[in-house]
Amino acid sequence: MTRRTKLTSIALLIGLVVLGVFYYSLSTRAIDNIILGVPYFGTFSGTPLAYDVESTAAMILRYWGDKRLSFLDLKRTLPAETTRGNFTFTDFKRFFESQGYEAKIVTLQNQRGLRNFLNQSSSTPIIVSIMNGSPSLRPGGGYYGVIVGSLESQKQIIVHQTSLGSNYLIPSGRFFPHPVMGLVVTPSAQIRSLIVGPDHSKPYPARLSIMDDTDIKNTLAKWNEALSSENDTINIRGAKINPDITQRLLKKWMDVINSLGFQKLHPAARILANTSASMYLTALKQYKEAISQLENNVIPIDHDLNEPAEGWPRDPTMLKAFASPWRVLALAYFETGEKKKAQAALENAAKTGDSWVSLYLEKELVTSELVKYK
């Protein structure tokens, strides 16, 4: 081996060592990734989206610039009460595939594994299920949310989640005590011409002070507990009512209503909770109590939905009134024999065109019930 060959070999070896050190340092270096342009929808957004499946779907679709499905379409297509774990990652995968997306269930081993999706070239938010601030498998509980960032330098994961709000930070050690299941959704080639695509110039949704209000957090925890307890379908027309279950569900909603943070909630949320309690009072044949609950606690604020609520964003598409309290009020009046008041309440329900609370509150059904009462 000549001197020149030796020098070349040594230089090559040094180069390989330097290159190896560079790539090693790159792999061990903390990297922060945040996807801009992912909107937040849910409890604090001032929109009609109230449940985790529909709000999570909206975050993903709107991020990709897909407005083919309106909020109303999402509420009609996706189940509302999802806290029972009856809407799995596989169900979510099928939904997105039906909309022309490629959806893949993945296993996330650790925080560093998020780089593959959150990096600048991919910029793909990840759907996960979260329970008590930690990832959860479904079925078995948990609420869907979206990973929008990873701060390796701070060992934090950033998520948008319905009841946790936007930019919620979860320590990576708490997020990854074990591998986490996720759903990655990207547009297929077939729909790229139908959607706008991400807008990374959009300002990041600010985290509102109400999202960190302790009283509101406690109230929302009770709210989620009430939803989770609704394991039996309650037929408020009186067929096969289980009084013990109904009484327990009523207590759960009254715990929400009597909590310290309840009066701080958006008027729409207060209407929903009071209406739920009234529904169970009606199921228990406590009609006068149900009427009092609605007339004293719901109807007065049902007229204020388009007024600014302190600390809450205002959505111009928010309905001026909901049909649900009027329909429950109509039923309670009907059962007490006050049919004229029942019909008047149903007519008020028909005027709202409400589809916010339940798929069963559509105008066609309200109209058919008006016919029954005449």
Angstrom distance (rounded) from CA 280 to CA 275: 9
Q: For residue 125, give the nearest of 101, 140, 104, 146 by alpha carbon.
A: 146
Average pLDDT over residues 252-261: 96
Angstrom distance (rounded) from CA 138 to CA 245: 24
Per-residue pLDDT tens digits for 30-82: 899 999 999 999 888 877 777 889 999 999 999 999 999 988 888 888 875 54
Angle, CA 154 vertex, CA 138 and CA 208 arms, to 5°: 70
- All structural domains of the chain, each given as residue ranges with its CATH number in brackets, are 32-207 (3.90.70.10), 213-373 (1.25.40.10)
Q: Where are the alpha helices (DSSP H) in the chain?
A: 3-28, 52-63, 71-77, 89-98, 115-118, 172-175, 214-229, 243-257, 267-283, 287-297, 324-335, 339-352, 363-373
Angstrom distance (rounded) from CA 294 to CA 4: 94
Q: Tell me the DSSP string of 29-44.
A: S--EEE-TT----STT
Residue with tokens 């991400």: 198
- Assign 136 to helix, strand or coil: coil
User: The pTM is what?
Assistant: 0.73
> Distance between the two ends of the chain, CA-based, in angstroms?
107
Q: Is the pLDDT of residue 359 over 90?
A: no
Q: Return the amino acid letter for 237.
A: R
Q: Is the pLDDT of residue 307 over 70?
A: no
Reported confidence tier of residue 105, pLDDT bands at 50, 70, 90:
very high
Q: Return the amino acid letter for 17.
A: V
10 burial (CB, 10 Å; 0-12 / 13-18 / 19+) is: exposed
Q: Count CB neighbours of 344 within 10 A.
A: 15
Q: Is the pLDDT of residue 238 over 90?
A: no
- Are 324 and 344 contacting, i.e. CB atoms less than 8 angstroms apart? no
Reported confidence tier of residue 84, pLDDT bands at 50, 70, 90:
very low
Average pLDDT over residues 242-271: 90
- Helix count and strand count (H, E) for the chain: 13, 8
Contacts of 350 (CB under 8 A, 6+ apart): 323, 363, 366, 367, 370
Angstrom distance (rounded) from CA 63 to CA 66: 7
Q: 200 φ, ψ to 5°?
A: -80, 0
Segment of 133-147, 191-205, 224-238 carrying the highest mean pLDDT: 191-205
Per-residue pLDDT at 242 = 80
- Are 182 and 111 contacting, i.e. CB atoms less than 8 angstroms apart? no
Q: 107 φ, ψ to 5°?
A: -110, 120
Structure tokens, 6: 């030796």
Per-residue pLDDT tens digits for 108-142: 999 999 999 999 899 999 999 887 666 665 444 67
